[in-house]
Structure 1
């Protein structure tokens, strides 16, 4: 039995098989409902300890779900058949802090010294918001979540320092209050929002022009609600300029076999 048929009984495995076959390369928001999704950072072993310290010092944007052994492209704890080199819709390759490529697989540049970090993603708590009757605008419109660099500095560690990145969902005030309550239960996927309303006060000059993802409309009776985002390491990498790094492309996440309910703290 091959790897694809082995995982045919679970949604995460089915989506990974589709991605591995190069049949999908878009945003994973809304795919495999109920399954945990993850951001990805891959660094040489020489930088892995400093990045782990950075993540531990900044748990809101960088909640660690799993760390691989050096050179091992698999995450058995996240999926038995999972291959980090092929199972994301799109990757980003960085050299000296510059984005140089966005391939759909990374087998040809994989190295034996690379350590992979799977980081919690806010796509995982969206299921709970939707189940509570709260509209998630980017899912409703079939686009990527808007993400913004802020003027909030992360706690530095080693070479890693830079700005917090946030994702935004427009909500009515009553839904924003409920969203705080719901997402507080999921600290492993960013937890409660870090800011509500007033984007300029966190360094966002124009809410209609996200730094990553797609703009979504905000109605007159809604406010922007901001969560810490797992794209933060990419803003940090651009500033820290490590010689080599691989990440996910914003919105193109790793779909795991873990269930969102397993991450609920309450």
Structure 2
């Protein structure tokens, strides 16, 4: 089942009800998609510093109040426990498994962080005539651990994760210029060309997501990726933390052209 882009409340309602559990590439055109990290409050300040020190892979766009699952600055009636198609659950730094609802895992000491996602600029690429293979073929973007080290904060550290899209060689500069307009969605690429320069030995075997071909006349282009915190969480090893399942994002009410995510307060959201 693929969802339509036009009605965000209906889209999120289908996700909340469990009627849609797949990746969100190509959905919510014109609106910011975000990655997700949920941590005990004891880790929150160090993680916020990690995002501040690594804004390229971790563009912080929203933070919940402690114990409050409603993402009040990112949209109206967004419940972080139910409004993401799939979640990864980590215990002591190891992936325990994936679930589609975390209501029974949520506790009063949890803080949710929303980080911008590169899915946001893919609609702009498509409008400019730059095809995105994984969107056209209904797969998840390939993601790789790179050799780029992040700046550590407290227990959080590790290598940057990058996502890859094969871009026609005569449109690489265009793709860079377009994505640069979306700083909350990782902005411009971090590398274009030889994957080995990023420490990637086999472009056909991503660490997350699905393989995507790099055909003749195309160039592999790499963007910083919001799965980077999942690598940092392995190092920090909190007793429990929750992230989105790679490729399965929160779709917000924030226009994708926004430089700062701000929503006007509404009754009950002040």
Answer whether TM exceeds 0.5 for this pair: yes
Contact 1:13 1:257 in 2 (8 A): no
For 2:258, what is the secondary structure of its paired residue? helix
1:101 and 1:201 mapped to 2: Cα distance? 32
Does residue 67 of structure 2 align to residue 68 of structure 1? no
Unpaired runs of at least 5, structure 2: 261-270
Deviation, 1:34, is 1.2
Does residue 155 of structure 2 align to residue 159 of structure 1? yes
Larger helix share, 1 or 2 = 1
1:263 and 1:145 mapped to 2: Cα distance? 24
Choose from 252, 255, 258 the match for 2:248: 252
1:202-221 residue CA offsets vs partner (Å, 9 max, x unmatched): 11110000000000111111
TM-score by length of 1: 0.94
**Structure-2 residue corresponding to 1:186:** 182
1:39-97 residue CA offsets vs partner (Å, 9 max, x unmatched): 00000101000000000000000000011110000012211111000000000110111
TM-score by length of 2: 0.92
2:131 and 2:244 mapped to 1: Cα distance? 26
Deviation, 1:258, is 1.2
Deviation, 1:10, is 6.1
- Higher mean alpha-carbon deviation, 126-135 vs 232-241, is at 232-241
1:144-171 residue CA offsets vs partner (Å, 9 max, x unmatched): 1000001111000000000100000001
How do 1:1-266 residues align onto structure 2 when only pairs under 5 Å count? 11-263=7-259
1:184 and 1:217 mapped to 2: Cα distance? 24
2:252 and 2:259 mapped to 1: Cα distance? 13
**Structure-2 residue corresponding to 1:4:** none
